[in-house]
Amino acid sequence: MMTMIARYLAFSRASLVRLTLARGLWGLLCGLSCVAVSAQEDRQEALVPPPASFATDQLIPVTVAGPSELKVGIDPKQLSIGPDKIVRYVLVAQGSNGLLTVTFEGIDCKTAATRVLARWNVGTQQWRVLDTSEWKSLNDDRGSRYAKALARGGVCDGPTPTTPLSSMMLALRTGRTSYNH
Protein backbone atom coordinates (compact mmCIF):
# COMPACT_ATOMS: atom_id res chain seq x y z
CA MET A 1 0.00 0.00 0.00
CA MET A 2 2.87 2.38 0.83
CA THR A 3 4.41 1.71 -2.56
CA MET A 4 1.18 2.72 -4.31
CA ILE A 5 0.98 5.92 -2.29
CA ALA A 6 4.65 6.72 -3.03
CA ARG A 7 4.07 6.17 -6.79
CA TYR A 8 0.92 8.32 -6.66
CA LEU A 9 2.78 11.13 -4.90
CA ALA A 10 5.71 10.88 -7.32
CA PHE A 11 3.29 10.94 -10.26
CA SER A 12 1.41 13.86 -8.75
CA ARG A 13 4.59 15.89 -8.18
CA ALA A 14 5.74 15.29 -11.77
CA SER A 15 2.29 16.25 -13.04
CA LEU A 16 2.30 19.33 -10.85
CA VAL A 17 5.72 20.37 -12.18
CA ARG A 18 4.58 19.83 -15.80
CA LEU A 19 1.37 21.73 -15.15
CA THR A 20 3.26 24.63 -13.54
CA LEU A 21 5.73 24.77 -16.46
CA ALA A 22 2.88 24.63 -18.96
CA ARG A 23 1.06 27.47 -17.20
CA GLY A 24 4.25 29.51 -17.06
CA LEU A 25 4.93 28.95 -20.76
CA TRP A 26 1.32 29.81 -21.60
CA GLY A 27 1.59 33.00 -19.55
CA LEU A 28 4.84 33.94 -21.25
CA LEU A 29 3.40 33.37 -24.72
CA CYS A 30 0.27 35.31 -23.87
CA GLY A 31 2.39 38.11 -22.48
CA LEU A 32 4.52 38.27 -25.63
CA SER A 33 1.50 38.31 -27.91
CA CYS A 34 -0.12 41.00 -25.79
CA VAL A 35 3.07 43.09 -26.07
CA ALA A 36 3.13 42.59 -29.84
CA VAL A 37 -0.50 43.70 -30.14
CA SER A 38 0.17 46.74 -27.95
CA ALA A 39 3.20 47.71 -30.04
CA GLN A 40 1.10 47.51 -33.20
CA GLU A 41 -1.65 49.58 -31.62
CA ASP A 42 0.94 52.16 -30.55
CA ARG A 43 2.08 52.51 -34.15
CA GLN A 44 -1.39 52.96 -35.60
CA GLU A 45 -1.71 56.36 -37.14
CA ALA A 46 -4.91 58.29 -36.49
CA LEU A 47 -6.83 59.38 -39.55
CA VAL A 48 -6.58 63.15 -39.25
CA PRO A 49 -7.85 65.09 -42.27
CA PRO A 50 -6.02 68.15 -43.55
CA PRO A 51 -7.28 71.43 -42.10
CA ALA A 52 -10.14 73.19 -43.83
CA SER A 53 -8.06 76.36 -44.10
CA PHE A 54 -4.64 77.77 -43.40
CA ALA A 55 -3.08 81.21 -43.23
CA THR A 56 0.16 82.46 -44.74
CA ASP A 57 0.43 85.82 -42.97
CA GLN A 58 1.51 84.71 -39.45
CA LEU A 59 3.91 81.87 -40.25
CA ILE A 60 6.50 80.69 -37.76
CA PRO A 61 9.71 80.68 -39.88
CA VAL A 62 11.58 77.42 -40.41
CA THR A 63 15.23 77.83 -41.30
CA VAL A 64 17.71 75.23 -42.47
CA ALA A 65 21.44 75.42 -43.04
CA GLY A 66 22.61 76.31 -46.51
CA PRO A 67 21.46 78.66 -49.20
CA SER A 68 17.79 78.72 -50.16
CA GLU A 69 15.57 81.02 -52.15
CA LEU A 70 12.53 79.73 -50.28
CA LYS A 71 10.81 81.41 -47.37
CA VAL A 72 9.41 78.54 -45.31
CA GLY A 73 7.17 78.54 -42.28
CA ILE A 74 4.35 76.75 -40.50
CA ASP A 75 0.88 78.04 -39.72
CA PRO A 76 0.73 78.14 -35.89
CA LYS A 77 -3.05 77.73 -35.91
CA GLN A 78 -2.72 74.37 -37.66
CA LEU A 79 -0.07 72.93 -35.33
CA SER A 80 -1.52 69.99 -33.38
CA ILE A 81 -0.67 66.82 -31.50
CA GLY A 82 -2.93 63.93 -32.47
CA PRO A 83 -4.24 61.14 -30.26
CA ASP A 84 -1.45 59.01 -31.75
CA LYS A 85 1.15 61.54 -30.47
CA ILE A 86 2.02 62.58 -34.03
CA VAL A 87 2.60 66.32 -34.47
CA ARG A 88 0.80 67.63 -37.55
CA TYR A 89 1.30 71.00 -39.20
CA VAL A 90 0.88 72.96 -42.42
CA LEU A 91 4.21 73.85 -44.04
CA VAL A 92 4.21 76.78 -46.47
CA ALA A 93 7.13 77.40 -48.82
CA GLN A 94 7.20 80.52 -50.96
CA GLY A 95 9.68 81.00 -53.76
CA SER A 96 11.21 84.31 -54.78
CA ASN A 97 8.75 84.30 -57.71
CA GLY A 98 5.81 84.23 -55.24
CA LEU A 99 4.68 80.68 -55.98
CA LEU A 100 3.46 78.71 -52.97
CA THR A 101 3.96 75.08 -52.12
CA VAL A 102 1.83 73.96 -49.19
CA THR A 103 1.92 70.58 -47.50
CA PHE A 104 0.19 69.00 -44.52
CA GLU A 105 2.84 66.93 -42.72
CA GLY A 106 3.43 64.87 -39.63
CA ILE A 107 6.38 64.23 -37.33
CA ASP A 108 6.52 61.13 -35.13
CA CYS A 109 8.95 62.07 -32.35
CA LYS A 110 9.00 58.52 -30.98
CA THR A 111 10.44 57.07 -34.18
CA ALA A 112 12.11 60.28 -35.45
CA ALA A 113 10.22 60.06 -38.74
CA THR A 114 8.26 62.40 -40.98
CA ARG A 115 5.60 61.98 -43.62
CA VAL A 116 3.80 64.26 -46.08
CA LEU A 117 0.10 63.63 -45.50
CA ALA A 118 -1.41 65.95 -48.14
CA ARG A 119 -0.47 68.55 -50.75
CA TRP A 120 -2.41 71.73 -51.44
CA ASN A 121 -3.45 72.19 -55.06
CA VAL A 122 -3.36 75.93 -55.72
CA GLY A 123 -5.49 75.59 -58.88
CA THR A 124 -8.40 73.69 -57.31
CA GLN A 125 -7.90 75.17 -53.82
CA GLN A 126 -8.17 71.67 -52.34
CA TRP A 127 -5.98 69.17 -50.53
CA ARG A 128 -4.80 66.02 -52.28
CA VAL A 129 -4.42 63.42 -49.54
CA LEU A 130 -1.41 61.12 -49.95
CA ASP A 131 -2.57 57.81 -48.48
CA THR A 132 0.46 55.88 -49.65
CA SER A 133 3.28 58.23 -48.70
CA GLU A 134 5.83 56.53 -46.47
CA TRP A 135 7.42 57.57 -43.21
CA LYS A 136 10.99 58.73 -43.70
CA SER A 137 13.67 58.98 -41.05
CA LEU A 138 14.61 62.46 -39.91
CA ASN A 139 18.19 61.22 -39.65
CA ASP A 140 18.84 60.37 -43.28
CA ASP A 141 18.74 62.23 -46.57
CA ARG A 142 15.26 60.98 -47.49
CA GLY A 143 13.56 62.97 -44.73
CA SER A 144 12.68 66.63 -45.09
CA ARG A 145 15.29 69.14 -43.93
CA TYR A 146 12.45 71.35 -42.75
CA ALA A 147 10.82 68.56 -40.71
CA LYS A 148 14.19 67.84 -39.11
CA ALA A 149 14.62 71.54 -38.30
CA LEU A 150 11.14 71.57 -36.73
CA ALA A 151 11.80 68.43 -34.68
CA ARG A 152 15.08 69.85 -33.37
CA GLY A 153 13.71 73.35 -33.04
CA GLY A 154 10.98 72.54 -30.55
CA VAL A 155 8.40 70.10 -31.94
CA CYS A 156 10.01 67.15 -30.18
CA ASP A 157 11.32 66.86 -26.66
CA GLY A 158 13.35 63.72 -27.18
CA PRO A 159 10.99 60.88 -28.16
CA THR A 160 7.83 62.80 -27.21
CA PRO A 161 6.13 65.90 -28.56
CA THR A 162 6.80 69.11 -26.63
CA THR A 163 3.75 69.90 -24.55
CA PRO A 164 1.73 71.97 -24.14
CA LEU A 165 1.41 73.40 -27.66
CA SER A 166 2.15 76.88 -26.31
CA SER A 167 5.59 75.62 -25.17
CA MET A 168 6.14 74.03 -28.58
CA MET A 169 5.32 77.28 -30.37
CA LEU A 170 7.50 79.30 -27.99
CA ALA A 171 10.42 76.92 -28.64
CA LEU A 172 9.90 77.19 -32.40
CA ARG A 173 9.70 80.99 -32.29
CA THR A 174 12.78 81.41 -30.08
CA GLY A 175 14.91 78.91 -31.98
CA ARG A 176 15.52 76.36 -29.24
CA THR A 177 17.51 73.46 -30.62
CA SER A 178 17.28 69.92 -29.30
CA TYR A 179 19.94 67.43 -30.27
CA ASN A 180 17.78 64.38 -29.59
CA HIS A 181 16.85 63.87 -33.26
Q: Identify the CATH assignment for 60-174 out of 1.10.10, 3.30.160, 2.40.128, 1.10.3470.
A: 2.40.128
What's the pLDDT tens digit per position in 41-77?
344 789 999 999 999 999 999 988 877 889 999 999 9
What's the pLDDT tens digit per position in 6-43?
444 444 444 433 434 334 433 333 333 333 333 333 44
| pTM: predicted TM-score of the whole model, two decimal places | 0.73
28: Cα within 13 Å, side-chain hemisphere: 6
Domain boundaries, the chain: 1-44, 60-174
What's the pLDDT tens digit per position in 121-151?
999 999 999 988 999 999 887 778 999 999 9
| Alpha carbon 87 to chain centroid, angstroms | 7
Closest CA to 112 of 166, 60, 150: 150
Count of helix runs (H) and strand runs (E) in the chain: 3, 10
**SS3 at position 61:** strand
pLDDT at res. 144 = 86
- On average, the pLDDT of the chain sits at 79
